[in-house]
Amino acid sequence: MAEQPSKIDFYFDFASPYAWLISDRLEHLAARYQREVVWRPVLLFAIFKAVGLPAPMETDAKRRYMLHDMERSARYYGVPYRHPANFPAISPVPGRLFYGIGEREPAQAKTFARQALKAHFVDGKDITRPEVVTEIAGQAGIPAGSVEAALTGERGKSLLRESIEDATRRGVIGSPFVIVDDEPFFGADRLDHIEWWLKSRTRAEA
């Protein structure tokens, strides 16, 4: 009996352009290798603080380069992208909703996360606002009562905090950060490396 291939952990921040740039492509890649992607939103500023890294956007020279690279990378990958007005946003609201919903309805939570990234990085929505996030969740088919409970309850909040601690323990240093079979890959530009890894594992198991 073949063992179930392990899932792919996708750590990301809802405010991270590079997370949006890899998200759909990562899902498509994983599907081709019969792997499931587990979305794990975190708050980067909390991880940076925990591991002692400065936020990249804090340094002028790096900020200038990254803003340019984000837009050019979107064109290169063929992913729609419009730089959001509030950037970088602090994203506890969609994170809490995601985990508040995700325990019972992982598929709905993933749909919400995907649509929240799109809303923020294509449609210019301010995903720090509960009413905006509520609307996106509604469009993702999540009942209004569940949204309300997830946003105001303690469960989403504490699961988000646990996920940040878990990410910090596992060496996450930015977004997107993908872990496949304990192998860490940082950045939207690591998709080819991830595919190379998946391919080598598939051959090894064949």
Contact residues toward a second copy (CB under 8 A) are: 51-54, 59-62, 64-65, 68-69, 72-73, 76, 168, 171, 173, 183-184, 186-187, 189-190, 192-193, 196
H helices of the chain, where? Answer: 17-32, 44-51, 60-77, 92-102, 106-121, 130-139, 144-152, 154-169, 191-205
Name the residue nearer to a second copy (CB basis): 38 or 67: 67
Work out how close the CB of 62 gets to a second copy at its nearest, in angstroms, rounded to a whole number. Answer: 5
Work out how close the CB of 86 gets to a second copy at its nearest, in angstroms, rounded to a whole number. Answer: 24
Work out how close the CB of 67 gets to a second copy at its nearest, in angstroms, rounded to a whole number. Answer: 11
d(CA 90, CA 19): 14
Name the residue nearer to a second copy (CB basis): 112 or 185: 185
Angle between helices 130-139 and 92-102 (to 10 degrees): 40
* Tokens matching residue 115: 């649509």
Name the residue nearer to a second copy (CB basis): 28 or 64: 64
Name the residue nearer to a second copy (CB basis): 119 or 188: 188
> In whole angstroms, how large is the CA radius of gyration of the chain?
17
Work out how close the CB of 22 gets to a second copy at its nearest, in angstroms, rounded to a whole number. Answer: 13
Question: CA 103, 41, 94, 119 torsion: positive or negative?
Answer: negative
Work out how close the CB of 157 gets to a second copy at its nearest, in angstroms, rounded to a whole number. Answer: 24
Name the residue nearer to a second copy (CB basis): 63 or 157: 63
Contact between residue 62 and residue 53 where contact means Cβ atoms under 8 Å apart: no
